[in-house]
């Protein structure tokens, strides 16, 4: 493993270690390096930085960071056997939402599949990966980027928003990071039981928090087969009009996310479910 310039670390009782680094290309890569060192007794760990140079987003996307105004945080958790990864994704997303909601004066929602939004603008992005380390141990790795203290962020990121823009005051980055870490790890040792015993509650709350749930929203159809299937049911009734602008865009009624992680929606009485990469909820509403 390469030498990582951790400035500080701490391990409190029952709280997984949290490491800080001055700057880095990606906290996700740092955590993956640490994961690859674990041989026996694998454990949860996390790291963060306020100056991430090359953050990673969903797929080939990048996360835009502003030095000392954003939080980049990644956590790796040993993965129990026979765990529902879609449900785990929902639980981790909700836990982050809860942590940020306590710092926001406005309601935070989930923009399927991997963003948290406020006032219809992106506040935070999540990247969830399942990895196997060099010794065959599986981990789930969650990477988070949060817009915190930028001012007038929409001049640079038209669909972005920061906690400062929401609350009209600056926020202590260290306090918020510690709060996020404690929220995400408070019951991490009981992860499998949480998912087994609270699956219905997790799913119901996740769907309740989805941006546009049970309302008509514009979605972009990215996949050709999905585009052909959906277009058969477009009637031009005002609620479902395809717009040709390089994308196929259609207004549908959002009906939550199913057990396979697919976005469910209705169009003129017909039900559909598609994965990320096939459709996405548009910021252009």
**Per-residue pLDDT, 9:** 46
CATH of the domain at 274: 2.30.30
Residue-wise pLDDT for 238-284, tens only, equals 555 566 555 688 889 999 999 999 999 999 889 999 999 999 999 88
Residues 155, 245, single domain; the answer is no
**Per-residue pLDDT, 235:** 61
Residues 135, 225, single domain; the answer is no
Domain count within the chain: 2
**Per-residue pLDDT, 38:** 84
User: Low-confidence residues of the chain, pLDDT below 50?
Assistant: 1-12, 58-62
Structure tokens of 146? Answer: 């949060």
Residue 229 lies in a domain: yes
The closest alpha carbon to 128, from 115, 110, 117, belongs to 115
Q: Is 93 strand, coil or helix?
A: helix
CATH of the domain at 39: 3.30.930.10
The closest alpha carbon to 247, from 215, 218, 269, belongs to 218
Residue 21 lies in a domain: yes
**Per-residue pLDDT, 246:** 57
Residue 193 lies in a domain: yes
Query: Which domain, by its residues, includes 229?
Result: 216-281
Residues 163, 118, single domain; the answer is yes
CB neighbour burial string for 116-141, b if at least 16 within 10 angstroms, e if fewer: bbbeebbbbbbbbeeeebeeebbbbb
Residues 16, 62, single domain; the answer is yes
Residues 80, 175, single domain; the answer is yes
Residues 150, 221, single domain; the answer is no
Residues 237, 205, single domain; the answer is no
Residues 106, 25, single domain; the answer is yes
Residues 183, 247, single domain; the answer is no
Residues 247, 176, single domain; the answer is no
Which of 153, 184, 209 is where one domain is finished?
209
Distances in whole angstroms, Cα of residue 75 to Cα of each of 19, 83, 114, 148, 177: 10, 18, 16, 19, 12
Distance CA(76)–CA(72), nearest Å, equals 14
**Per-residue pLDDT, 66:** 77
Residue 1 lies in a domain: no
Residue-wise pLDDT for 200-231, tens only, equals 999 999 999 999 999 999 999 998 888 888 87
Which pTM value belongs to this model?
0.88
Residue 121 lies in a domain: yes
């Amino acid at each position: 493993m390469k030498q990582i310039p951790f400035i500080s670390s701490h391990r409190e009782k029952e709280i997984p270690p949290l490491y800080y680094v001055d700057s880095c290309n990606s906290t996700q890569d740092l955590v993956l390096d640490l994961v690859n060192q674990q041989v026996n007794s694998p454990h949860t760990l996390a790291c963060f930085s306020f100056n991430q140079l090359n953050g990673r987003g969903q797929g080939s996307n990048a996360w835009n960071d502003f030095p000392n105004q954003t939080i980049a945080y990644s956590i790796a958790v040993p993965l129990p056997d026979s765990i529902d990864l879609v449900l785990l994704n929902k639980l981790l997303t909700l836990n982050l939402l809860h942590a940020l909601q306590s710092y926001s004066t406005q309601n935070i929602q989930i923009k399927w599949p991997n963003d948290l939004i406020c006032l219809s603008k992106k506040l935070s992005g999540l990247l969830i990966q399942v990895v196997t380390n060099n010794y065959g141990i599986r981990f789930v790795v969650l990477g988070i980027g949060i817009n915190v203290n930028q001012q007038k962020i929409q001049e640079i990121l038209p669909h972005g928003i920061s906690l400062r823009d929401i609350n009209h005051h600056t926020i202590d980055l260290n306090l918020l990071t510690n709060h996020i870490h404690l929220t995400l790890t408070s019951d991490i040792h009981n992860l499998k039981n949480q998912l087994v015993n609270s699956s219905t509650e997790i799913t119901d709350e996740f769907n309740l928090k989805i941006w546009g749930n049970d309302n008509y929203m514009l979605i972009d159809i990215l996949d050709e087969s999905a585009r052909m299937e959906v277009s058969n049911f477009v009637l031009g009734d005002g609620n479902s009009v395809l717009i040709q602008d390089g994308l196929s865009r259609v207004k549908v009624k959002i009906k939550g996310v199913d057990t396979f992680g697919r976005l469910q929606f209705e169009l003129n009485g017909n039900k559909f479910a598609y994965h990320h990469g096939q459709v996405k909820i548009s910021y252009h509403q």
